[in-house]
């Protein structure tokens, strides 16, 4: 499967602040999916990006696919305690390959 | 409600023993997957199946076996050949179609430990 690197691996955020997590590939991706896994839970699908330069928003979450389709990002504004968890990007060809994830903790 | 059911939630294995993890879905999905998750790591694909009676090895298939006799069921056997089986095992399913993978729906997982 296609390999991606997610940075940072850990993100500790003050409640109310913004942060961004990045997903980088050395090869061009056909599309990419993002998942969120709460502590002790299972991954839940958030979004799929397909087009070059695509930007999609879900409330406080903004997902972007790079122009070259080699990277993607997730930006969260005004972080809340409900945002705690691990966010995975997953480029998909014939099967999904998950990145190592960015684990987010929030201090109130 | 439609969904994926994994059982048991917790499982303990003795040395040299094979154990089977159950995964059942009623979403009418053609594709099913097994992943292993270790602390601090992402999900690694063990096996996947896109149609009944057919399955493919993923990235870490050694020491594992699967079957897909029914569309709804995709059990995973952790054999004694898997020397480090302690992990969180996740089953997922999805539809099949288009040029890309469809979103995957995950079960609640099984935590396997060695006695």
Could you tell me the mean pLDDT of each successive run of 10 residues in chain A, 108 residues long? 84 97 92 94 95 97 97 97 96 77 94
| C-alpha distances in Å from residue B50, one per residue of A20, B54, B73, B83 | 34, 7, 12, 28
What per-residue confidence (pLDDT) applies to A92? Answer: 78
Q: Burial letters for A79-89: b for 16+ Cβ neighbours within 10 Å, e otherwise?
A: beeebebbbbb
Mean pLDDT, residues B33-57 taken together: 92
Q: What's the pLDDT band for B16 if we cut at 50, 70, 90?
A: confident
B49 at the A interface (CB within 8 A)? no
Closest approach of chain B CAs to the CA of A18, in angstroms?
Answer: 23
CA geometry: angle at B77 spanning B106 and B42, to 5°?
A: 40
What pLDDT was estimated at residue B115?
82
Per-residue pLDDT of B86-96, as tens digits, reads: 999 999 999 98
Question: Within the 74-93 window of chain B, which residues sit less than 8 Å (CB to CB) from chain A?
Answer: 90, 92
With CA atoms as reference, the chain A residue closest to B4 would be: A42
Is A92's CB within 8 Å of B33's CB?
no
pLDDT score for B83: 86
């Amino acid at each position: 499967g296609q390999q991606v690197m997610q940075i940072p691996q850990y993100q500790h955020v003050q409640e109310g602040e913004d942060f961004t997590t990045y997903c980088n590939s050395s090869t061009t991706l056909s599309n990419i999916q993002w998942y969120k896994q709460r502590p002790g839970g299972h991954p839940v699908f958030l979004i799929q990006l397909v087009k070059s330069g695509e930007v999609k928003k879900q409330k406080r979450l903004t997902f972007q696919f790079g122009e070259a389709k080699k990277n993607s990002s997730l930006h969260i504004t005004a972080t809340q305690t409900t945002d705690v968890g691990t966010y995975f990007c997953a480029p998909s060809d014939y099967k999904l390959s998950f990145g190592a994830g960015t684990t987010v903790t929030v201090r109130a | 409600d439609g969904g994926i059911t994994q059982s048991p939630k917790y499982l303990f294995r003795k040395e040299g023993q094979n154990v089977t993890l159950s995964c059942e879905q009623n979403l009418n999905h053609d594709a099913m997957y097994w992943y292993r998750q270790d602390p601090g790591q992402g999900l690694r694909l063990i096996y996947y199946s896109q149609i009944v009676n057919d399955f493919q090895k993923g990235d870490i298939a050694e020491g594992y076996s699967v079957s897909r006799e029914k569309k709804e069921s995709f059990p995973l056997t952790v054999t004694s050949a898997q020397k480090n089986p302690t992990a969180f095992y996740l089953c997922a399913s999805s539809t099949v179609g288009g040029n890309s993978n469809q979103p995957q729906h995950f079960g609640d997982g099984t935590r396997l430990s060695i006695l």
